Amino acid sequence: MALSGLVLGAATIGLRAAAQPQEQVIKILARRFTYAPNKLTRKQGVPVILELTSADVFMGFNAPDFGVRTDIIPGQVASVRLVPDKVGTFTFLCDIFCGSGHETMSGTITVVA
């Protein structure tokens, strides 16, 4: 029983690795009232995984132009996949009130062809 489970697990991992090309992971640290980094430049059509963490309080991450949003809970990693499907400069922002200064908490994603 245990052995067959192990073999199955290994096969699944193998399949997953073969099916998906490796996607770049970008770590973004949120803290009142900034993101670091707060300026990203991406190539059009190349998906990226964003791993968001908070250094202090509950935050949000919202990139409405790409249909991507997540909560950022302190002590956890929020992972989202973003597909930069159009060229231009787009704003992302914190959409959970996190204190006085929250409204300035934003950054940009520039997508180049």
Question: Which residues of this protein are in contact with Cu ion, per CB under 5 A?
Answer: 94, 98, 102, 105
What lies within 8 Å, CB to CB, of 57 at 6+ separation is 32, 74, 98, 99
Tokens (6 digits) for 76: 């956890």
User: Least Å distance between CB 66 and Cu ion?
Assistant: 19
Cα separation, 48 vs 77, in Å, equals 15
We find the least distance from the C-beta atom of residue 69 to Cu ion, in angstroms, to be: 13
Nearer to Cu ion, 54 or 109 (CB): 54
Distance between CA atoms of residues 98 and 105, nearest Å: 9
Q: How far is the CB of 32 from Cu ion (least distance, A)?
A: 7
Nearer to Cu ion by C-beta: 37 or 45? 37
Label residue 65 left, alpha or beta by phi (over 0 means left) and psi (-120 to 50 means alpha).
alpha
| R_g over Cα of the chain | 17
Task: Give whichever of 29 and 83 is closer to Cu ion, judged by the CB atom.
Answer: 29
Q: How far is the CB of 97 from Cu ion (least distance, A)?
A: 6
48 versus 96: smaller Cβ distance to Cu ion: 96
